[in-house]
Amino acid sequence: MDNCVFSIIKQNKSKGNKSLALLLDPDKVDLKNPQVLLEYLENISPDIVLVGGSLMLSHKLDQLVQLIKLETAFKTVLFPGNTLHLSHLADGILFLSLISGRNPDLLIGQHVHAAPVLKKSNLEVIPTGYMLIDGGKTTTANYISNTLPIPAHKPEIAACTALAGQMLGLHCIYLDGGSGAEKPVPEAMIKMVRHEIEIPLVVGGGIKSVSIAQKAYLAGADMLVVGTQFENGPSEVIEIARLRERFSKTIT
Ligand code: 1GP
């Protein structure tokens, strides 16, 4: 069986199953006590572990990726804020083009610098149409990217943008309300994007409860990304993981 990272997501999607990605920010995990993190990881059993963030103040990226690689069977995928956020120890990387914005550096500029480095690495490169959606407050990603997020009440802009991303050959679309978003990506927007595209649809930002997760899955998200709620206390994320399992059993 093809065991590459993107295949995990695609195979889940083709079987009608839902996926869950746990996002770990190296600045926010306690690596002095890794056992706690590893136990939570086993409990949640995410389909993939995303590692990254808009900014990184610590230098723990390699250390965190190595820990997951050595101690678990989970695939680690980089979710880089910029070209400096690289770890050759990871399994893959979301090669993000910020298609919701009009900042050329984040549409293609940084990619030009990263491409030859990635070619020499063993990282699986996952071309991703990354779309920032207004989640009710200015997020680090909005500020750092110097772009306007798509207004939450304009699902048609998101749908056309995602469709253009698919036509450009991107492999998946990631709708992100931003880390700690007050409001998650609206169901109406997820539905309209889902209706327009066939490639896997990833949704994240402000998924803090089982009920929010359920609505996003039902609206058509193939994979949810949860970060802040894990940092706030993993019990709800364990429930979201159970929901994913129940959901998948129900609809297959
Ligand atoms: C942020 O989508 C991710 O880029 C996760 O968001 O931290 O709000 O879960 P949260």
Query: 229: Cβ below 6 Å to ligand 1?
Result: yes
Query: What is the C-alpha end-to-end distance of the chain, expressed in Å?
Result: 20
Domain ranges of the chain: 5-247
pTM here is 0.96
Positive or negative: CA dihedral 25, 27, 28, 30: positive
CA of 22 to the centre of ligand 1 (A): 9
Query: 205: Cβ below 6 Å to ligand 1?
Result: yes
Q: Tally Cβ neighbours within 10 Å of residue 234.
A: 21
Strands (E), the chain: 19-24, 48-52, 76-79, 92-98, 124-132, 172-176, 201-204, 223-226
CA of 1 to the centre of ligand 1 (A): 30
Can you tell me whether residue 35 is helix, strand or coil? helix
Identify which of 85, 207, 237 to mutate to test ligand 1's pocket (most ligand atoms within 8 A of the CB).
Answer: 207
Segments in 173-227 forming alpha helices (H): 187-196, 210-219
Identify which of 22, 23, 29 to mutate to test ligand 1's pocket (most ligand atoms within 8 A of the CB).
Answer: 23
Q: Is the pLDDT of residue 54 over 90?
A: no
Can you tell me whether residue 20 is helix, strand or coil? strand
Name the band, by pLDDT with cuts 50, 70 and 90, for residue 247.
confident
Query: What is the C-alpha radius of gyration for the chain, rounded to an integer number of angstroms?
Result: 17
Q: Dump pLDDT digits (tens) for 18-40.
A: 999 999 999 999 999 999 999 99
Question: What was the pLDDT predicted at 55?
Answer: 85
Q: CB of 18 within 8 A of CB of 12?
A: yes
Atom of ligand 1 nearest to the CA of 206: 8
Q: Is the pLDDT of residue 252 over 60?
A: no
Query: 23: Cβ below 6 Å to ligand 1?
Result: yes
Q: Is the pLDDT of residue 114 over 70?
A: yes
Identify which of 79, 98, 201, 226 to mutate to test ligand 1's pocket (most ligand atoms within 8 A of the CB).
Answer: 226
CA of 228 to the centre of ligand 1 (A): 6
* Residue 51, phi then psi, degrees to nearest 5: -130, 125
Question: What was the pLDDT predicted at 248?
Answer: 75
Q: Dump pLDDT digits (tens) for 115-168.
A: 999 999 999 999 999 999 999 999 989 999 999 999 999 999 999 999 999 999
Q: CB of 135 within 8 A of CB of 177?
A: yes
* CATH superfamily assigned to domain 5-247: FMN-linked oxidoreductases (3.20.20.390)
Q: Is the pLDDT of residue 51 over 50?
A: yes
Name the band, by pLDDT with cuts 50, 70 and 90, for residue 1.
very low
Q: CB of 75 within 8 A of CB of 48?
A: yes
